[in-house]
């Protein structure tokens, strides 16, 4: 029934092209006399008659109280759609149903809507992995022994099986690991001791003194892939610390786009 009434209402308004005609339509729909409108606005009934017959128009200062008396919006008075209120028939029925609910049930509906919005936002957001891009380079140089601490900036990467295994990202410096790893490459590292034990022939990131290296773990020391470099060998009292296993090299497409990062951050901050 409500749907049929709305259709009749819409059809009746189609032929009303002037403000005066709309004033008359809404006044009569409310069962009001011209003198009632005039009394509440502090004007003469003749003024209201002139509006409705198109001889004059309401003063701008009278429009807000006139709309309040007629229980309409300025958009309805002028016969235009309010941009945010262009609801479908189904949407208007849902809004009307919401208004009939108790406060408690309205709160339940709002909570459900928030949950569904979050779920849809999460579905739109690609899976991201958040890692620390260490400021230290995997380079050469010896100094006093120090413990490794991961310091650097947070980066957001599109998840993949390899990236999900990683904990840290390091920049490579130098050519000792060419032709596989080049100067400036960013490598993924699975942090020790969480990573499985490193076996001979595998590539790791190592801390020696205060410097970090990317090298092949060998029985006789740490080797470079570039044969121009000698194997690094150490005395028993020298401290060599495994930072973690090197998993691979990051590609430019692995880095998340700014819009995906913003959506990810909003979801995890509970903003959507």
CATH number at residue 71: 1.10.260.40
For residue 9, the model assigns a pLDDT of 54
pLDDT digits over 79-132, tens only? 876 665 567 778 888 888 888 999 999 999 888 988 887 777 777 778 899 998
Which tokens hold the place of 27? Answer: 């006044």
| Ranges 11-15, 143-147, 201-205, most confident | 201-205
- Domain of 210, in residue numbers: 128-254
Could you tell me if 8 and 82 lie in one domain?
yes
246 φ/ψ angles, rounded to the nearest 5 degrees = -85, 125
Mean pLDDT of 10-28: 74
pLDDT digits over 28-77, tens only? 988 999 999 999 999 999 999 999 888 888 998 899 999 999 998 888 88
Could you tell me if 137 and 244 lie in one domain?
yes
Residue 168 maps to a domain: yes
Residue 201 maps to a domain: yes
Could you tell me if 77 and 22 lie in one domain?
yes
Mean pLDDT is lowest, of 28-32, 175-179, 234-238, 254-258, for 234-238
Could you tell me if 168 and 248 lie in one domain?
yes
pLDDT tier at 138, thresholds 50, 70, 90: low
Whether residue 203 has pLDDT greater than 90: yes
Residue 104 maps to a domain: no
Residue 110 maps to a domain: no
pLDDT tier at 139, thresholds 50, 70, 90: low
Whether residue 149 has pLDDT greater than 90: no
Whether residue 238 has pLDDT greater than 90: no
Of 99, 118, 136, the residue at which a domain comes to its end is 99
Could you tell me if 27 and 144 lie in one domain?
no
What is the maximum span of the chain, computed from C-alpha positions, in angstroms? 108
Could you tell me if 140 and 240 lie in one domain?
yes
Could you tell me if 62 and 176 lie in one domain?
no
Mean pLDDT is lowest, of 55-69, 122-136, 159-173, 235-249, for 122-136
pTM of structure: 0.54
Residue 271 maps to a domain: no
Residue 209 sits in a domain whose CATH number is 2.10.109.10
For residue 17, the model assigns a pLDDT of 64
Is 20 within 8 Å of 51 (Cβ atoms)?
A: yes
Cα–Cα distance, 133 to 160 (Å, whole number): 17
Mean pLDDT of 228-253: 89
pLDDT tier at 176, thresholds 50, 70, 90: very high
Which tokens hold the place of 199? Answer: 């076996």
pLDDT digits over 259-271, tens only? 889 888 888 777 6
Could you tell me if 74 and 24 lie in one domain?
yes
When the pLDDT of each residue in the chain is averaged and rounded to a whole number, the result is 83
For residue 94, the model assigns a pLDDT of 86
For residue 1, the model assigns a pLDDT of 44
Could you tell me if 250 and 160 lie in one domain?
yes
For residue 8, the model assigns a pLDDT of 56
Q: What is the DSSP string of the chain?
A: -HHHHHHHHHHHHTT--SHHHHHHHHHHHTT--HHHHHHHHTS-HHHHHHHHTTSS---GGGHHHHHHHHT--HHHHHT---GGG---HHHHHHHHHHHTS-HHHHHHHHHHHHHHHHHHHHHHSPPEEEEEEESS-B-----S-------EEEEEEE--HHHHH--EEEEB-SSTTTTTS-TT-EEEEEETTTSPPPPTT-EEEEEETTEEEEEEEETTEEE-SSTTSPPB---TTS-EEEEEEEEEE--GGGBPPHHHHHHHHHHHTT--
Could you tell me if 137 and 250 lie in one domain?
yes
Whether residue 24 has pLDDT greater than 80: yes
Overall domain count for the chain: 2
Could you tell me if 244 and 205 lie in one domain?
yes
Percentage of the chain modeled with pLDDT above 70: 85
Could you tell me if 93 and 141 lie in one domain?
no
């Amino acid at each position: 029934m409500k749907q049929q009434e709305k259709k009749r209402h819409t059809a009746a308004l189609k032929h009303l092209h002037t403000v005066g005609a709309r004033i008359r339509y809404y006044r009569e729909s409310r069962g009001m006399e011209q003198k009632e409108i005039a009394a509440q606005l502090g004007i003469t009934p003749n003024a209201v008659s002139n509006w409705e017959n198109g001889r004059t128009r309401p003063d701008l200062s009278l429009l807000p109280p006139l709309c309040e008396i007629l229980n309409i919006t300025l958009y309805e008075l002028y016969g235009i759609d309010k941009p945010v209120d262009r609801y479908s028939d189904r949407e208007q029925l849902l809004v009307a149903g919401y208004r009939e609910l108790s406060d408690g049930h309205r709160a339940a509906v709002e909570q459900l809507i928030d949950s569904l919005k979050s779920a849809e936002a999460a579905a739109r957001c690609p899976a991201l992995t958040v890692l620390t891009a260490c400021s230290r380079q995997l380079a050469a140089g010896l100094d006093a022994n120090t413990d490794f601490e991961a310091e650097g900036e947070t980066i957001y990467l599109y998840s993949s099986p390899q990236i999900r295994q990683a904990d840290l990202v390091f920049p490579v410096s130098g050519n000792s690991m060419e032709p596989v790893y080049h100067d400036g490459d960013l490598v993924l590292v699975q942090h020790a001791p969480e990573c499985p034990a490193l076996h001979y022939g595998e590539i790791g990131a190592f801390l020696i003194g205060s410097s970090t290296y990317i090298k092949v773990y060998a029985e006789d020391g740490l080797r470079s892939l570039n044969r121009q470099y000698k194997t690094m060998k150490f005395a028993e009292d020298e401290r060599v610390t495994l930072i973690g296993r090197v998993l691979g090299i990051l590609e430019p497409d692995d880095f998340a786009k700014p819009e995906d990062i913003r959506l990810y951050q909003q979801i995890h901050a509970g903003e959507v």
